[in-house]
Amino acid sequence: MNSDRAMSTVSPASTTNDDIANGFQNLGISISNVNDLQITCFSDVFNDTTLHFQIIRLPKQIYAWIGCDSAKFGHLYAAAPTRPNNTVSVSSLLGGNSDNTGSGIARRIVIKTGVPLTLACNIPKDSPMLEAAAEKKLVQKLNALGYTKSKHQELYS
């Protein structure tokens, strides 16, 4: 069972887009136009485990959250393309370390998108099939939203 619900904005009744933009600005993330902010939420079930996803597209970066059976935040990673060798650097911001599940997912998403990514993830470390399913679903949604590079861009970047 899949339940996808994509929205241009998601906000509780008392929260406005301006409130969300102000929250990001308080974190040092500049949003010049609230319309530059796109939020997508969806869920998927894999082997009786519910995976929840949230993607926030900011002007020059992506924030993604993957929740496994709960709304826990999990570990937080930042990944970005680095020059001159076109590699990806990943750093653990909260909890975890570079060999945790979220680190690998963040690295591979940046390779596919070419865009800096902040990823929160609470997938258990000992669940490689669940990790692969979550990453596959996230990449499918990023493709559908137009956030990934084309094969031509990947070959020549």
pLDDT digits (tens, 9 = 90+) for 97-142: 656 778 889 999 999 888 999 999 988 888 889 999 999 999 999 9
User: Do you find a cis peptide bond into 81, omega within 30 degrees of 0?
Assistant: no
The residue range of the domain holding 67 is: 42-156
Q: Report the CATH number at residue 96.
A: 3.30.230.100
Q: How many domains does the chain contain in total?
A: 1
130: Cα within 13 Å, side-chain hemisphere: 20
CA distance linking residue 116 with residue 97, whole number of Å: 18
80 is a domain residue: yes
Q: Show Cβ contacts of residue 155 under 8 Å, excluding neighbours closer than 6 positions.
A: none
91 is a domain residue: yes
* Res 19 pLDDT > 80: no
What type of residue is 6? A
CA distance linking residue 105 with residue 134, whole number of Å: 9
